[in-house]
Amino acid sequence: MKTAFITGATEGIGYELVQLFVRDGYHVILVARNEKKLMEMSEKIKASGGQADYYASDLSQIDNAKSIYEDLQRRQLLPDCVVNNAGFGTSGQYTEIDWQKEQEMMQLNMLTLAYFSKKFTHDMKKRGYGRLMNVASTAAFESVPYMAAYGATKAFVLSLSEALAFELKGSGVSVTTLCPGVTESKFHATAHTINTLQKSKLLPQATASDVARYGYKAMMKGKTIAVHKLGNRLNILVSRFLPRCIVTKLAATATTE
């Protein structure tokens, strides 16, 4: 039985990805903080004949990520597929956002993702097979005023993952960067960007299920960069030909209250 390790498995895009792995017969290993939700999810999966394990853990603490990886090694659970999806955003003036929150976000969105990416692809390379998917954002392609640090974390994810994909060419290990645009999920309540969600009725919007299905397919095909929705791909293409100051101004209009 193949194994998939998914972070941020209890909500939004991660939850929908779990359903796809279960549908395809994977033993899923779920990570999030809410133990009750994790327990309910894994019981439901087991009741329908699937296999599930979970870790209730705060991945904004790198030591927790290390403990999970070491525990999987000890149990000889070597995932065939790994999805670094857990992430959150902060919004507002960079000078005003609470530093503790920003630090947790940077640790979760970058440090833990970088650690799992390194460790799991190292093991996959030895076996000559594996698929990694890191969830970035369309925000990775531009600087994002009023979500400055969040945008920067996603630029890090894209840059790291694209380079890693290149390094692993021919090894049997693929690295996919999934870049969702605005997606309906709990993300916007956490990031206080409900306003952005409403404003973006003009921009391409998606459900978590659509994004997950698109990302899952791209990951299984071994695609390097997967930007969800044609409208988002066009925005990114056009912005390459515009002066950066204009691109930043346009990004700011989407994130200001």
Ligand X SMILES: NC(=O)c1ccc[n+]([C@@H]2O[C@H](COP(=O)([O-])OP(=O)(O)OC[C@H]3O[C@@H](n4cnc5c(N)ncnc54)[C@H](OP(=O)(O)O)[C@@H]3O)[C@@H](O)[C@H]2O)c1
Residues forming the site for ligand X (CB under 6 A): 8-14, 31-34, 58-60, 85-89, 108, 135, 137, 180, 182-183, 185-187, 190, 208
The token pair that represents 178 in the structure block:
């999934």
Please report how close the Cβ of residue 95 comes to ligand X at its closest, in angstroms.
Answer: 22
Which residue's CB is nearer to ligand X, number 33 or number 125? 33
Which residue's CB is nearer to ligand X, number 60 or number 121? 60
What whole-number distance in Å separates Cα of residue 21 and Cα of residue 27? 8
Please report how close the Cβ of residue 215 comes to ligand X at its closest, in angstroms.
Answer: 9
Backbone angles phi, psi at 112, to 5 degrees: -65, -40
Picking from 179, 95, 183, 191, the residue whose alpha carbon sits closest to that of residue 138 is 179
Which residue's CB is nearer to ligand X, number 121 or number 137? 137
Which residue's CB is nearer to ligand X, number 131 or number 188? 188
Strands (DSSP E) along the chain, which ranges?
A: 3-7, 27-32, 51-56, 81-84, 130-135, 173-179, 183-184, 206-207, 225-227
Which residue's CB is nearer to ligand X, number 4 or number 135? 135
Please report how close the Cβ of residue 167 comes to ligand X at its closest, in angstroms.
Answer: 23
Q: What is the 3-state secondary structure (H, E, C) of 91-149?
A: CCCCCCCCHHHHHHHHHHHHHHHHHHHHHHHHHHHHHCCEEEEEECCHHHHCCCCCCHH
Which residue's CB is nearer to ligand X, number 31 or number 164? 31
Other CB atoms within a 10 A radius of the CB of residue 120 amount to 23
Which residue's CB is nearer to ligand X, number 26 or number 187? 187
Please report how close the Cβ of residue 78 comes to ligand X at its closest, in angstroms.
Answer: 21
What whole-number distance in Å separates Cα of residue 119 and Cα of residue 113? 10
Please report how close the Cβ of residue 238 comes to ligand X at its closest, in angstroms.
Answer: 19
Backbone angles phi, psi at 133, to 5 degrees: -125, 125
Please report how close the Cβ of residue 197 comes to ligand X at its closest, in angstroms.
Answer: 7
The token pair that represents 118 in the structure block:
């390194």
Please report how close the Cβ of residue 194 comes to ligand X at its closest, in angstroms.
Answer: 11
Residue pair 150/87 in contact (Cβ under 8 Å)? The answer is no
